[in-house]
Copies of this chain bind each other. A is one copy, B any other.
Amino acid sequence: MNIALLQHSFKGNKKESIDFTLKMITKASKNGADLIALQELHTNKYFCQCEDVKYFKYAKEFEKEVNIFSEAAKYNNVVLVSSLFEQRAKGLYHNTAVVFDKDGSIAGKYRKMHIPDDPSFYEKFYFTPGDNDFTPIKTSIGKLGVLICWDQWYPEAARLMALGGADILIYPTAIGYDLNDTKDEQKRQLDAWLGVQRGHAIANGIFVVGINRCGIEYEEKNKSKINFWGNSFIFGPQGEIIKLASENKDEIIKAKIDLKRIEKVRNIWPFLRDRRIEYYNKITKRYID
């Protein structure tokens, strides 16, 4: 399977960003990609830097954007993982990945389950946490364990997708440096971000990819900015680094991966064989007091 991840900065407005993404999709598909994955909320700036009801209007365009990327998947004959702002009902919004199969049909949706909230990432204001299970999305090229950004820190989400038969975990993401942090702290955070997702690859014997923004985005309202740290990645089922993107460049990173490797790795490291499932029930506790 040939996969391509499209990492890029925001292009100033929705139209320019969508046009840029569509061109990248066509370029990646011409280079043989079967699966193309886009970064989190790729049609917009990362608007969660402040809390403002004006941004809910972006979610009104969900259906229109679904149609655009459905057409793109069909036109380019690729499986496409998009990440969009969804209005589900009046006053009810989700951070939603929509997966299209090669014929443009919707293979499945995933509504972000773990919602962060910390300075400059005020997502709990905008997004209701998803209310579906962690279920991989079946496509013509394999079962995709689509998760989104903050989900990436949760071993439970990765494990449930693996138990559901996912061949690859796919994390559209928007994460960056806090420019007030020291360089050491910035490096620790980037290393931790890569490290925890490498851990999921290893613990589950599965491919894991992350697609992150790059570039600096400003929010005038509260005078904040984020330097999105790029570093989109492709990890193999032993956690091996197959590809790692730059920190700050628009780029397509791609790799040919062999899904048969999952079984080879799991046969020598049969972690699934030895899980002590009868002793795991307290995972569903908030805390064991």
Contacts and interface: CB of A to CB of B under 8 A. Distances in A.
Interface of A: 113-116, 118, 129, 133-134, 150, 153-156, 158-160, 163-165, 188-189, 191-192, 195-196, 198-200, 202-203, 238-240, 268-272, 274-288
A281 B284 contact: yes
Chain copies in complex: 2
Contact of A154 (B114, B165, B275, B282): B275
A110 B39 CA distance: 44
A255 to B, nearest CB: 16
B202 A134 contact: no
Given A198-B195, A279-B133, A287 B163 contact: yes
Given A203-B199, A240-B191, A280 B160 contact: yes
Contact of A284 (B134, B189, B280): B280
B160 A282 contact: yes
Contacts of A270: 118
Given A153-B203, A189-B238, A160 B118 contact: no
Nearest to A193: B202
A274 B115 contact: yes
A57 to B, nearest CB: 27
Nearest to A157: B276
Contacts of A154: 203, 271, 275-276
A150 B274 contact: yes
A22 to B, nearest CB: 33
Contacts of A283: 156, 159-160, 163, 277, 280, 283-284
A153 B205 CA distance: 11
Nearest to A185: B238
Contact of A288 (B150, B163, B202, B271): B163
